[in-house]
Amino acid sequence: MASISLKDLVKTYGDVEVLHHVEGEIQDGELIVIVGPSGCGKSTLLRMVAGLETVTSGEISIGDKVVNKLEPADRDIAMVFQNYALYPHMSVRENMAYGLKIRKISKDEIDRRVKEAAEILEIGAYLDRKPRQLSGGQRQRVAMGRAIVRNPQVFLFDEPLSNLDAKLRVQMRLEIRKLQQRLGVTSIYVTHDQVEAMTLGDRLMVLNGGYVEQFGTPIELYDRPATVFVAGFIGSPSMNFLPATAQDGTVALGNGAVLAGGAQASGQITLGVRPEHLVQDDAGAIRIIVQMVEQLGANTLVHGVLEDSETEFVASVPGHVTAEAGTLMSFSAAAEDLHVFDVTSGKRIEA
């Protein structure tokens, strides 16, 4: 068990800096999800913690030990890879026992630990099979088993569920979470899937272009996104952004509609409002010309453009709503559900 601390981490490939001064403290037993679009540097960051990539500058510590110069083997970590990276020529049992064998742990102890891990993951029946005789989900479990038998201080997950089908992914997601809570091992989990990130993480680190956009609990990120990027990335369907002008506690949209909110801001702003925070209200100031309606059963997504503008807009309305394309619908939003961002920096302006 250990905490992890990232101090002023920089990674460059040649002249290209791919991670810019990443900072973060991870508490003992926490599961941190690093999330971001592809190419944002999230895997690189994870691989730096694992010791598979060198650190250009800055410091990574696991426990109170700086591990920058340590070999992966000496960092007391275990990693689950996207393609599982099981040893194809070894049986499931040998795969799981390999790390222990290298560490010269007694045979009885290895057998005990492998059996225990196999029980937890329900793969006891496949111990003598080769990886290629297993299904994707079973391979995934073996990869997890290989990580947990080692009893490491830190688990690293590199998009472990992205090769599974949607249903299995949801199921394994829950299992990973349960397992991590049961074992209480500090974990870093990399994914590009924001739903996975929200459901798994104690805290989320949102990376974009090598910068940490925000580092906080899922609810913090949802309720108070620090930047336009986080606001757009977290939540599905994603937040609506509208150019607007703020003045004296009100916000005027491009088409002249005026909403209450955005107290501290003045001048040009980007206004953000989540589809699910829009309330259908015939007297509402946000008027949309409907283009298309998606019925999801529990709720309905109304796609349209803001009246007298070309700004696309999505509203999520509970229950069943039908509307012909071209009709007008009006919505209102509470002042506390309006997010105000600076136009140039994209940073949140606190209301």
Partner 1 sequence: MLKRVHFPTSALPYLLVAPQIIITLIFFIWPASQAVYQSFLIEDAFGLSTEFVWFENFQILFEDSQYLETFWRTIVFSAAVAVLSMGSALILAAFADRVVRGATTYRTLLIWPYAVAPVLAGALWVFMFNPTLGIFPYILEFIGIDWNHYLNGGQAMTLVIFAAAWKQIAYNFLFYLAAMQSIPRSLIEAAAIDGAGPVRRFWDHIFPLISPTTFFLLVINAVYAFFDTFGIIHAVTQGGPANSTTILVYKVFNDGFVGLDLGGSAAQSVILMILVIAMTVVQFRYVERKVEY
Which of the residues 182 through 221 are near partner 1 (CB under 8 A)? none
Distance (Å, whole) CA 176 – CA 158: 13
Counts of helices then strands in the chain (DSSP H, E)? 8, 20
Query: Contacting partner 1 (CB under 8 A), which of 10, 52, 168, 260?
Result: 52
Q: Which is nearer to partner 1, 94 or 223 (CB)?
A: 94
**Candidate residues 13, 28, 59, 73; the one interacting with partner 1 per rule CB under 8 A:** 73
Q: In what order do the strands lie in the sheet with 240-247?
A: 258-260, 250-253, 240-247, 267-273, 338-342
Span from 58-66, 98-106, 219-227, 342-350 in contact with partner 1 (CB under 8 A): 98-106
Dist. CA 158–CA 65, nearest whole Å: 23
* Near partner 1 by CB under 8 A: residue from 27, 54, 83, 266: 83
* Site for partner 1 contains 87 (CB under 8 A): yes
Answer whether 114's CB lies under 8 Å from 105's CB.
Answer: no
Q: Which CB, 78 or 251, lies closer to partner 1?
A: 78
Burial grade of 277 (CB within 10 A; 0-12, 13-18, 19 or more): buried
Question: In one letter, which amino acid is 73?
Answer: A
Does 98 interact with partner 1 (rule: CB under 8 A)? yes
Other Cβ atoms less than 10 A from the Cβ of 335: the count is: 14
Min dist CB 105 to partner 1, Å, is 11
Q: Which of 103, 112 has the CB closer to partner 1?
A: 103
Quickly count: other Cβ atoms within 10 Å of residue 109's Cβ: 10
Residue 246 pairs in a beta bridge with: 251, 267
Question: By CB under 8 A, is residue 136 in contact with partner 1?
Answer: no
Shortest distance (Å) from residue 139 CB to partner 1: 13
Closer residue to partner 1 in complex, CB, 132/167: 132
Measured distance CA(186)–CA(62) in Å, rounded: 10
Q: Of 36, 99, 275, 304, which lies in the binding site for partner 1, with binding defined by CB under 8 A?
A: 99
* Residue 88 or 326 having the CB closest to partner 1: 88
The answer to the question of residue 114 lying near partner 1 (CB under 8 A) is no
Of residues 24, 39, 81, 289, which one binds partner 1 by CB under 8 A?
A: 81
Residue 15 CB neighbour total at 10 angstroms: 5
Confirm or reject binding of residue 253 to partner 1 (CB under 8 A). Answer: no
Is residue 231 within 8 Å of residue 251, measured between CB atoms? no
Q: Footprint of partner 1 on this chain (CB under 8 A)?
A: 50-52, 71-73, 77-79, 81-83, 85-89, 98-99, 102-103, 146, 150
